[in-house]
Amino acid sequence: MCAGFLLILLALAIQAEDSLLWLEPAELRVLRGMSASFNCSTASRWNVMIWHLNDRVVLTISRRHGIMECTQCEVFNHSSPDVSSWEMVLQQVDLKDHTVTCEVQNGPKNSSNLFVEETGSIQISGGNVSVVWGQQVVLQCQTHGWFPSPNLTWLLNGEKRDTLNTSSMLDTTGLYSTTSTFTIRANKSSRVECQASLSALLKPQSSVVSLTVVMEMDTTLVKRLVVYLSSITAVLAVVICTVLCSRKMGRTRKCRHPNAMRIVQGVSANSVATDTEGRINPGYISAYNTGNDNSHLSNSAHGQKHAIASQQIPDVISSNDHTACTFYSADGIKTSRRVTTV
């Protein structure tokens, strides 16, 4: 009795293996208007393979005659001697959820789920924003015309941030509009991005804005800065005027009295006569000397009296006075007196 029971189990296992059928993938998500591909394989004996999209037959394949019926699809045979494998590619799938079923006549069947999704628009309302440092900023990301409702993600300078206050609404066309709010404290200029993603979307769609942070000028600080700059300007002006006046006084330190020349000459003559005590000045040449020994000097001196009339060689004196002064005559001709100390 036990041996008979084992034989029955073995027969059932062999029959189940022979009738096994695979449909891949078990679940597929595509965007609206794209194609969807499925593979149905079996190792059992079969005569007719039938494909269903929901409750509608879209493909019929005969083992003997090949493809008999195909509605909006393409078919490819990938069979081997041991396994029959057929690929069905659905074209232009509609925006709805579908069930794809593959079965062999009077044999096993298997089903897969097909989800068709739709992308719409995405935008951060308000565009680029300029705010004062430390201000709290509220940004809103809006999507329209999506199916199903997309997943919204906020990124600040490329880093993901928590998404709060997200809501979705289904419109009359069967598509979703979603709104998400993001709050940030403006501490520095940043790049803010909102991304919308779906399972069938290979790369998220996004909207990007720039958050520019500006410094708020304190009026008290501005006033202090103006006072400080004014003080520095005043000090610099005083210093410059002092330097210029000092240079000017150094250049114009001269005797400007009209009679200064005559007064100083008289004082100098008396001083020289007193200091020399009547001693002969060997450097003095008289214009009226008539001696024979000095006749050649007299003639020479007489010829030059006009050239040296304004200059006379001073007496040689012994003096401790080392003061010299520059004088101007009434006609503008410079006349100088110098005392030679010996």
If we measure between CA atoms, which residue out of 108, 115, 104, 103 comes closest to residue 26? Answer: 115
pLDDT at residue 274 tops 70: no
pLDDT of residue 224: 75
Nearest one of 177, 180, 178 to 192, comparing CA atoms = 180
The pLDDT score that the predictor gives to residue 219 is: 56
Q: How confident is the model at residue 243 (pLDDT cuts 50, 70, 90)?
A: confident
123-158: per-residue pLDDT in tens?
999 889 999 998 999 999 999 999 999 999 999 999
Q: How far apart are CA 47 and CA 44, in angstroms?
A: 10
CA distances from 275 to 127, 255, 260, 311, 322 (A): 102, 25, 22, 20, 14
Predicted confidence at residue 123, as pLDDT, reads: 96
Q: Choose among 323, 310, 314: nearest CA to 261.
A: 310
* pLDDT recorded at residue 222: 64
pLDDT, residue 298, reads 43
| Spatial separation of the C-alpha atoms in residues 80 and 78, rounded to whole Å | 7
Query: Of the spans 81-95, 285-299, 323-337, which averages the highest pLDDT?
Result: 81-95
Lowest mean pLDDT among 64-73, 188-197, 330-339: 330-339
pLDDT band at 26 (very low <50, low <70, confident <90, very high): very high
Percent of the chain residues past pLDDT 70, beyond the cut: 65
Stretch 179-204: mean pLDDT:
94
CB count in 10 Å sphere of residue 93 = 20
Query: What is the per-residue pLDDT for 225?
Result: 78
| No. of helices (H) and no. of strands (E), the chain | 4, 21
Return the pLDDT at 162. Answer: 81
Model confidence at 302, in pLDDT bands (50, 70, 90)? very low
pLDDT at position 45, please? 87
On the CB side of 145, CA atoms within 13 Å amount to 6
* Confidence at residue 160, expressed as pLDDT on a 0 to 100 scale: 92
Write down the pLDDT at residue 93: 87
- CA 143, CA 122: separation in Å to the nearest integer? 4
Q: Does 193 have pLDDT greater than 90?
A: yes
